[in-house]
Amino acid sequence: MAAGSCLPEDMIRETLLRLPVQSLLRFQVVCKRWLALITSSDFILTHCKHRPKHSIMLTNTWFGENYGISVLQADAKGKPEHRNLPSSLMNNVVKCRSIGSSNGLLCVYVKNTHNVDYFLWNPATRKHRLLLFPPTLGHYTPRTFGFGFVPETSDYKLLIVDDASFEGNLNLKALVYTLSTDSWKEVEGVTASRSYLSPKISVVVQGMWYDLIYREEENIVQGTLREPRKVPSIIKFNMANDVFSKIEDGLPYDNACGRNMNLMEYKELLAMGIYRDEETTFELEIWTLMKNEYCWTKLFVCRPLPKIMTMIPLGFRNDKEIILSDYSTELFYDILQLYDPSTQESSVVSTYEDFIYFDAHNYVESLVSVDAWSSSCVQMFS
């Protein structure tokens, strides 16, 4: 008797939808009917929506001679679970970092002694694919990146931003890779006067890429010329229509916070962390930008926080705990912490001994393929 032949089709489907990816990969060989079900685009989409959405992927990590990622599960109490990057792509690596994570796909930047590569990787299925960079596009020095799912087009895109400065102005140019067509194209950039890009991490939220830029303004205090003021604004890129624009007004900013700002995602909204250096403590504010992009709302203020040299909020776990990367003035190395604003308690997740530096991305295990999708499969995510 064929496996599951005595059970209703709906019951088999609902049972399989609740299983982890590793179990489904094994069950593909049970029979042709199960293989067809598990590999169907509708099943893959529904299964992805069933999985916990609050796991956090941490990169760049270094374990011996292996670059990798670490997954901090939603209910994890101990250290993150490490997973090596595909060994075939790690030859002569000089630098490696994640660009973004969406629906179980991770986009990774790898720089080796000869060139720069980009690849898609599904850690759950252990499938990966190199994104071949056309030599006709010329030389690009990646300054910042973005990768994510674009709801309007039901597609995945990779954004590579290069910057060049001339006469004090910032000139951005960009490349976009589209998964459904497996193609690259150059897009028109943007120029910002007397500005420079933030050294921190950019973020993609609902198909929109955001990054901070800073404009230098003259700073005269009581008739004395001081160091120029750093005035922030946000540059954004709409992955649906491949157009750059800027958000310059209404940012929750004052002179006290200077460059101590960072962007992240919170409940599918753009969030900004602003941390202020007081005399004895740090105070961290978290703001979100409403979907109309006209109004910022303060979520909460984290205080008091320990007096440390630097603090970078990387994201959220369970939409509650804030992931903080900071530098300890007592231990002299970076520490990754989870901070709960409701209890004002923090716990150490890992230290510099485990990580080179931290990127944090929301992560969900899935069966999503790294290959270019057919148009019918892409439409399943609309």
Q: Output the pLDDT for position 346.
A: 76
Nearest to 197 by CA among 227, 165, 243, 159: 165
Stretch 159-182: mean pLDDT: 80
Q: Within 13 Å of residue 254, how many CA atoms lie on the same side as its CB? A: 5
Phi-psi region of 267 (alpha: psi -120 to 50; beta: other; left: phi over 0): left
Residue 237 · residue 243 · CB < 8 Å:
yes
**Res 159 pLDDT > 90:** yes
**Res 268 pLDDT > 60:** yes
Q: Which two tokens stand for residue 227?
A: 């160091």
DSSP state of 30: T
* pTM (2 d.p.): 0.84
Query: Does 90 or 145 have the greater pLDDT score?
Result: 145
Nearest to 294 by CA among 251, 344, 265: 251
Query: Does 359 or 237 have the greater pLDDT score?
Result: 237
Residue 377's pLDDT band, with cuts at 50, 70 and 90, is very low
- Strands 208-217 vs 203-205: parallel, antiparallel or unpaired: antiparallel
Instruction: Look at 26-30, 139-143, 177-181, 358-362 and tell me which has the smallest mean pLDDT.
Output: 139-143
φ/ψ of residue 136, rounded to 5: -70, -15
The amino acid sitting at 380 is: M
Q: Output the pLDDT for position 374.
A: 46
Q: Which two tokens stand for residue 340?
A: 């709960």
Instruction: Look at 48-57, 62-71, 118-127, 194-203 and tell me which has the smallest mean pLDDT.
Output: 62-71
Residue 70's pLDDT band, with cuts at 50, 70 and 90, is confident
Stretch 165-193: mean pLDDT: 81
Helices then strands, each counted (H, E), the chain: 5, 27
Q: Output the pLDDT for position 332.
A: 46
Query: Does 200 or 229 have the greater pLDDT score?
Result: 229
Scanning the structure block, which residue is given the tokens 């150059």? 186
| Domains of the chain, each with CATH number or no CATH | 52-363 (2.120.10.80)
Predicted confidence (pLDDT) per residue in 85-116, tens digit: 787 777 777 777 788 889 999 998 887 777 77
Predicted confidence (pLDDT) per residue in 14-54, tens digit: 999 999 999 999 999 888 899 999 999 889 989 988 776 66
Q: Within 13 Å of residue 188, how many CA atoms lie on the same side as its CB? A: 4
CA 352 – CA 357 distance, rounded (Å): 7
Q: Output the pLDDT for position 380.
A: 46
Query: Does 149 or 354 have the greater pLDDT score?
Result: 149
pLDDT > 90 in the chain, percent: 21
Instruction: Look at 115-124, 222-231, 266-275, 303-312 and tell me which has the smallest mean pLDDT.
Output: 303-312
| Helix then strand then coil, % of the chain, to nearest 5 | 10, 50, 35
SS3 194: coil
φ/ψ of residue 105, rounded to 5: -95, 135
Q: Output the pLDDT for position 373.
A: 58
Alpha-carbon dihedral of residues 71, 208, 290, 265, nearest 10 degrees? 10
Stretch 346-357: mean pLDDT: 62
Q: Output the pLDDT for position 55.
A: 67
Q: Output the pLDDT for position 357.
A: 53
Query: Does 250 or 220 have the greater pLDDT score?
Result: 250
Q: Output the pLDDT for position 224.
A: 75
Q: Output the pLDDT for position 158.
A: 94
Sign (positive or negative) of CA dihedral 312, 313, 317, 321: positive
